[in-house]
Structure 1
Amino acid sequence: MRVKDKVVFITGGSTGLGLATAKLYHREGAKVAILGRRADVLAAAAADIGDGVLDVPGDATDPAQVKAAVDKIVARFGRIDIVVHSAGANPERKNIEGVTLEGFRTTYELNTTSAFVVVQESLKAMGQGGAIVLIGSVAGMKGSPNRLAYATAKAGMIGMTRQLALTLGPKGIRVNLVAPGLIRTPLTANLIDSMSNAEMDRMLSDHPLGCLGDPDDVAYACLYLGSDESKWVSGISLPVAGGRVTH
């Protein structure tokens, strides 16, 4: 088991990429704690993941709630070894002409600010050594139509990853980012289902491998970057996007 007895804190762990990552870490022997806003959904996810999972309701943008979550994790497991920040959303699907200031700020808050809050609070329980994995988006590397706020927020997370890797490296903490392409999750399902055949063909043509991704594709990248197999890897943004960044 690649992360046996490691304590992993996964935000956004009740659905989508976070849930897939939590399931994989649990199968690989980790002690898993998940955070999400909806207590009922979170509890159901914890039961689905397996025995011993700690579900901690909370808002990843709220320092007080994240601190409370970290305190509960430490009370149960004693420490945090790995953080996977999967919480995020894309509420403002517009270009510059239509984006509102409120929508831009909200999108940044849900993605980049939440990453800052989670990392800052989690560090207090990590000590010397560990790994942090932020889940960004290939939109933050390449841009995307109708995604000004989201692409900007995710690009900010790439800059944060580099800065954190630089400053936390001397403490033995590695920081990396996974940048998914289009994957069916609760966040993207409405978009995917609303596409015409022609729109879907255009979308797939932008991914050289010619298919959509699966949540497990991202989960395995998060597992690698959290495990000792990547012990000399820090500061990277890893596209898991079917080759999209080469296009």
Structure 2
Amino acid sequence: MGKLDGKVAVIIGGTSGMALETAKLFVEEGAYVFVTGRRQEKLDAAVAEIGHNVTGVQGDLAKMADLDRLFETVRDEKGHIDVLFVSAGSGHLGQFVHNVTEQVFHDTFVTNVKNVLFAVQKALPLFRDGGSIILNSSIAHRKALPGIGVYSASKAAVRSFARTWAMELKDRKIRVNAISPGPIDTPHTADAPQEWKDGMIAAVPMGRFGEPREIATAALFLASSDSSYITGADLCVDGGLTQV
């Protein structure tokens, strides 16, 4: 018997990396999963990799009409949501206070803050009481990391949302938690400068990057009844980077 048997989960940004691994694990544990992606070819590949009990919904989640279409699809196919994992995000290295551009600021806060807010807002009418909302933040909001201040600030907003929404949704017994990954081996970090990678590995007590599956197992914990007495929390999955 799986930890998510009979549950319906929506994973925002589920075509690669941490979100794709989470979608695969949720299905392994008995859930039916809806995943999103902007590019149809990547979405099709992700759906094929997940294999079964999955629906892919293409769309740009910065567009309210695309968000509406996502949740209309969920409503028409399954009628409700038990778990929402909002994982889509973006960031830029080398954006210091003296050279950060308005476009980088705008794009980062739209993707990492606005899209999170409205994804949760539009999902709520379909949520069954007692469900779980998981927001993908970052350990960047806990550390002073030069050159990614805008990204760090956006992820601090996500962590703040988890606190506030845990209180706002407590009467419905909907738990809201954040995951803050440390450096994880994903397509996004694969293209980062080697100097940055080496520096991060040196700073992590466990001496390595995390694997996407290690974020997926944390998301499974927060999605399942294993975490039934946890809400408003920020779970750092970072090899000890922010803990020692």
Structure 1 residue aligned with 2:221, among 219, 224, 227? 224
Hey, which bits of structure 1, 4+ residues long, moved more than 4 A?
none
- SS of residue matched to 1:188: helix
- After TM superposition, list the pairs within 5 Å mapping 1:42-191 onto structure 2: 42-91=43-92, 93-191=94-192
Aligned partners of 1:10 and 1:18 also within 8 Å: yes
Distance 1:57-1:200 versus aligned 2 partners, 3 A rule: closer
Shift of 1:207: 0.8
Amino acid aligned to 2:101: T
Do residues 6 (structure 1) and 7 (structure 2) align?
yes
Amino acid aligned to 1:242: G
Shift of 1:60: 2.1
- SS of residue matched to 1:2: coil
Aligned partners of 1:12 and 1:85 also within 8 Å: yes
Distance 1:93-1:23 versus aligned 2 partners, 3 A rule: farther
Aligned partners of 2:31 and 2:53 also within 8 Å: no
Shift of 1:145: 2.1
Shift of 1:91: 3.7
- Cα deviation, 1:151-176, whole Å, max 9, x if unaligned, reads 01001101111000011011110000
* Matches of 2:144 and 2:56, distance apart in 1: 34
Aligned partners of 1:46 and 1:53 also within 8 Å: yes
TM-score (norm 2): 0.96
Amino acid aligned to 1:155: A
* Matches of 1:200 and 1:69, distance apart in 2: 36
Amino acid aligned to 1:87: A
Partner of 1:195: 194
Distance 1:88-1:201 versus aligned 2 partners, 3 A rule: closer
Amino acid aligned to 1:225: L
Do residues 238 (structure 1) and 238 (structure 2) align?
no
Shift of 1:28: 0.5
Amino acid aligned to 2:143: K
* Matches of 1:195 and 1:121, distance apart in 2: 40
TM-score (norm 1): 0.95
* Matches of 1:64 and 1:201, distance apart in 2: 42
Aligned partners of 2:27 and 2:53 also within 8 Å: no
Aligned partners of 1:63 and 1:121 also within 8 Å: no
* Matches of 2:197 and 2:140, distance apart in 1: 17
Farther-moved stretch of structure 1 (124-133 vs 149-158): 124-133
Aligned partners of 1:92 and 1:107 also within 8 Å: no
Shift of 1:92: 5.7
- SS of residue matched to 2:71: helix
Structure 2 residue aligned with 1:206, among 178, 199, 203? 203
Shift of 1:39: 1.2
CA RMSD for the aligned pairs?
1.2
Shift of 1:201: 3.8
Shift of 1:114: 1.0
Aligned partners of 1:16 and 1:215 also within 8 Å: yes
* Matches of 1:45 and 1:93, distance apart in 2: 31
- After TM superposition, list the pairs within 5 Å mapping 1:17-32 onto structure 2: 17-32=18-33
* Matches of 2:94 and 2:33, distance apart in 1: 33
- SS of residue matched to 2:90: coil
Amino acid aligned to 1:115: V
- SS of residue matched to 2:158: helix
Amino acid aligned to 1:195: Q
